[in-house]
Structures are given as structure tokens and as C-alpha cells.
């Protein structure tokens, strides 16, 4: 009776199998890395600035770090949006009497808004709102950093207003942008969110 045919080796050594197995593991790891959630890229909003406060003293973004803060751009001749927004921020801050949060109000109209005028203007609102001004070049730099749109809009009487974006920037304790802060809710709800960052 003929003996059964013996199995022929495939011609692959153990070393080849080991290399093949390693390649499979590396490929699997690559697939897992590719599909895992990726961290968002660093924010392109915000950055260093050097401006002037009411006393003409230079202040920088570093002076507001260590706790969350808000940044809002506007101007003192604004007829409605700017004062309304600052009043809304004041209403939110009243719900946080023990929190050292600040709001930075930066002019988009440095030709008219001196640091003293800005200080006088914000004195009508919560004292934690700080008015800042600067040279046209300094203001242009901070507008660029915060992606702010602002331009002169001539009026019929020969004067001008300022068309500008109206975003409230919430920055964290490290000065990094968190989100566009939403005031289209109750002051209590807005205050509760700010409180969560302390």
C-alpha cells in the first residue's frame, strides 16, 4: 500500500513569519492611530497685546491671565450695540460677586477713544469691565489677532461711525480662546458657565 504523500514545506522560515507578523501589527497600529479622535489644532484666535489703561499705563494680555476673562471690541460713540452688550455683561457679572473675572473692552476707534475716555465710558458698567485703547498700530495688531472686522462708516453729517464685528471672546486662565461667549440666554445661565471655569 503506498504511503501518503508527505507535506512539503512552504519555503517560509520562522524569521519570515516573524517579520510578516510584525508588519501586520504595525499596520493595525497605524489604522488605529488614523481613526482615533485627533486633538483640535491650536486656536488661531487671540494672542499677545500691549495697550493702555485709564492711567496711561501699558497693560498686556498677561495681566489678565490666571483666571478666565472676556474680550469685547467696540467704541464709545457706538449708538446701541456696544452699550447694550456691556450692560448684558454687567448683568452676568452681578451673578458672580465673589469671582475675580474681568471683561476687556478694546476700542476699534483709537482716533477718538483715548484711554481716559474709555475709562470714563466703562465706569457706567460693572467695575470689572476694563476699557483699553492704544495707537492705531496697536489696535490694528490686536484686531488682527482676534480676527476682528472694523472699518469707518461715514455718516451724512460728515462724521463717522464704526462698522465692526460684535463677538464676545471667552479666554481661559492661560489666555487661550475657549469660545464665542453666548449672551442670548438668561444672565443666570451665562453666569453658571463662567463659574464653571473657576
Domains of the chain: 50-195 (3.40.30.10)
What is the pTM for the complete model shown?
Answer: 0.77
* DSSP-derived 3-state class of residue 42: coil
Distance CA 87, CA 67 (A): 22
Q: With contact defined as beta carbons under 8 Å apart, do 176 and 46 qualify?
A: yes
Q: Grid coordinates 489696535 are at which residue?
A: 139
pLDDT values of the chain reduced to their tens digit, one per residue, 198 residues: 555 555 444 455 555 444 444 444 444 444 433 344 444 455 689 999 999 998 889 999 999 999 999 999 999 999 999 999 999 999 999 999 999 999 999 999 999 999 999 999 999 999 999 999 999 999 999 999 999 999 999 999 999 999 999 999 999 999 999 999 999 999 999 999 999 998
Distance from the first to the final alpha carbon of the chain: 89
Q: With contact defined as beta carbons under 8 Å apart, do 163 and 39 qualify?
A: no
Amino acid at each position: 500500500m503506498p504511503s501518503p504523500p508527505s507535506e512539503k514545506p512552504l519555503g517560509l522560515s520562522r524569521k519570515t513569519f516573524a517579520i510578516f507578523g510584525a508588519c501586520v501589527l504595525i499596520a493595525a497600529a497605524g489604522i488605529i492611530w488614523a481613526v482615533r479622535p485627533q486633538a483640535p489644532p491650536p486656536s488661531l484666535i487671540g494672542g499677545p497685546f500691549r495697550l493702555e489703561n485709564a492711567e496711561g499705563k501699558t497693560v498686556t494680555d498677561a495681566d489678565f491671565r490666571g483666571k478666565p476673562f472676556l474680550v469685547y471690541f467696540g467704541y464709545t460713540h457706538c449708538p446701541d450695540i456696544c452699550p447694550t452688550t456691556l450692560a448684558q455683561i454687567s448683568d452676568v457679572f452681578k451673578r458672580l460677586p465673589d469671582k475675580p473675572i474681568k471683561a476687556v473692552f478694546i476700542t476699534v476707534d483709537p482716533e477718538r477713544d483715548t484711554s481716559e475716555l474709555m475709562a470714563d465710558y466703562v465706569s457706567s458698567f460693572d467695575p470689572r469691565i476694563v476699557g483699553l485703547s492704544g495707537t492705531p498700530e496697536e489696535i490694528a495688531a490686536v484686531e488682527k489677532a482676534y480676527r476682528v472686522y472694523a472699518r469707518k462708516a461715514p455718516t451724512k453729517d460728515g462724521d463717522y461711525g464704526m462698522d465692526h464685528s460684535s463677538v464676545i471672546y471667552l479666554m481661559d486662565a492661560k489666555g487661550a480662546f475657549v469660545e464665542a461667549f453666548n449672551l442670548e440666554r438668561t444672565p443666570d445661565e451665562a453666569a453658571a458657565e463662567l463659574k464653571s471655569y473657576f
